Amino acid sequence: MEEKLLKNEERAVFALRALYRQYGYLPFKMSKFEEYDLYVRNKDFLISDRIITFNDTNGKLMALKPDVTLSIVKNGEDLSGVKQKVYYNENVYRVSGSTHQYKEIMQTGLECIGDIDAYDIFEVVSLAAKSLQLISPDFVLDISHLGLLNSIFNQINASELFRREVSQALSEKNSHDILRLCEKHGVSDDVKSMLTEFVGIYGTKDTVLARLKPLCINEEAKAAYAELATLAALFSATDYADRIRFDFSIVSDGNYYNGIVFKGFLNGICEGVLSGGQYDNLLHRMGRRAGAVGFALYLDLLEELNAVKNEFDVDILILYDEDTDLSELVSTCKELTDGGKCVSAQKAFPPKLRYRELIDLTRGNRS
């Protein structure tokens, strides 16, 4: 009964909390507001730069938080070998992708910050996969490595503009515009074919790694390839290995992210529900030495998933009036609710209430 009453997103919050606690992630609770300054300084890290602001009582410009990660990483000590592991469940306020309007978005996620290594990255990515699996077994987790694209850019000493335009086209799996951009910027044929080959590579580890290897021509790319291969090997032992795909169209901002980035999808929801990655660069920009990896899950999107439409609002509508014996009304309600029914006691028919059965306790109907 209780289980049935919970909405998808509420059920997910409970299940995910238990999962994150199992791996030693501690809850992180934060305020709804944060100084606007924090977001201005890290504007590019945010999904949208539009933020709801207001003046605090002392005149300070504040913001309704559009993001949780920045608040978590802005403080903290950098100790060798130590990691801070936290999870959160917070509302954020930002312009949502497809509606282009401000929305309150319920977000849950976790961050692992500190002296992180390959194990931590696997732990976080696998927790992302397990989070999706808990919500629906029909999920896909796409993984990419930003080092691969960067290695190609660095090889040709690409301009800021070229990087931005090609990244955008890559995120659209748009090889025809990549070709045009290469021609416009006078890029060599070798690099042109590498970039278009790169767009076309996606799928499970067996298909991807073999095609990817010949494209890894410098040290940076080889290191990225090795990281992906390690991760792929670790995932092959899990029960959701076939749900892990490699897809290089995930292009998170390189000013903040480096290394592994990933995105999760659930069948039946039209956009990505999970996104995350390694973001050492953000911490370095904040003057910290540590590295970090984490993800966020957008719970509000789960509404779309197998939404069960109830035929009735209540099982039983009980009608009563001034002359109804109150103790009879109370005992009728108790009897029904004890029997697992949901009731609504009313003096008149509520115009929009849908009920399965009617019990009439008004005077004219009592024996």
Residue 46 interacts with another protein (CB under 8 A): yes or no: no
Task: Give one word for 299, left, alpha or beta, with left for phi > 0 and alpha for psi -120 to 50.
Answer: alpha
Residue 183 interacts with another protein (CB under 8 A): yes or no: no
Which residue number, 266 or 297, has a Cβ lying nearer to another protein? 266
Side-chain half-sphere exposure of 362, counting CA atoms within 13 A: 10
Residue 193: CB minimum distance to another protein, A: 17
Scanning residues 74 to 103, which ones bind another protein (CB under 8 A)? 97-98
- Applying CB under 8 A, the span of 10-18, 32-40, 216-224, 264-272 interacting with another protein comes to 264-272
Member of 134, 272, 341, 361 binding another protein (CB under 8 A): 272
Which residue number, 176 or 347, has a Cβ lying nearer to another protein? 176
Residue 239 interacts with another protein (CB under 8 A): yes or no: no
- Applying CB under 8 A, the span of 128-136, 148-156, 166-174, 316-324 interacting with another protein comes to 166-174
Member of 93, 153, 265, 320 binding another protein (CB under 8 A): 265
Residue 174 interacts with another protein (CB under 8 A): yes or no: yes
Sign of the alpha-carbon dihedral angle for 254, 222, 126, 142? positive
Strand pairing class (202-203; 244-247): antiparallel
Residue 271 interacts with another protein (CB under 8 A): yes or no: yes
Which residue number, 76 or 272, has a Cβ lying nearer to another protein? 272
Residue 43 interacts with another protein (CB under 8 A): yes or no: no
Total binding residues toward another protein, as defined by CB under 8 A? 19
Q: Which residues pair with 142 in a beta bridge?
A: 245, 263
Side-chain half-sphere exposure of 244, counting CA atoms within 13 A: 27
- Applying CB under 8 A, the span of 18-26, 167-175, 186-194, 212-220 interacting with another protein comes to 167-175
Member of 21, 43, 60, 176 binding another protein (CB under 8 A): 176
- H helix and E strand count, the chain: 13, 15
Q: Between the CA of residue 347 and those of 11, 189, 316, 319, 361, what are the distances in Å?
A: 35, 80, 14, 5, 10
Member of 173, 289, 334, 356 binding another protein (CB under 8 A): 173
How remote is the C-alpha of 221 from its chain's centroid?
27
CB neighbour burial string for 202-220, b if at least 16 within 10 angstroms, e if fewer? bebbeebbeebeebbeeeb
Residue 269 interacts with another protein (CB under 8 A): yes or no: yes
Member of 37, 49, 104, 138 binding another protein (CB under 8 A): 138
Alpha-carbon gap, residue 332 to 318, rounded angstroms: 9
Residue 211 interacts with another protein (CB under 8 A): yes or no: no
Tokens 């795909």 label which residue?
245
Alpha-carbon gap, residue 105 to 92, rounded angstroms: 5
Residue 242 interacts with another protein (CB under 8 A): yes or no: no
Q: Which helix (H) or strand (E) is 33 found in, with range?
A: strand 33-35
Member of 85, 130, 245, 288 binding another protein (CB under 8 A): 245
Q: Please report, as ranges, the residues that interact with another protein according to CB under 8 A.
A: 97-98, 138, 140, 142, 172-174, 176-177, 245, 249, 265-267, 269-272
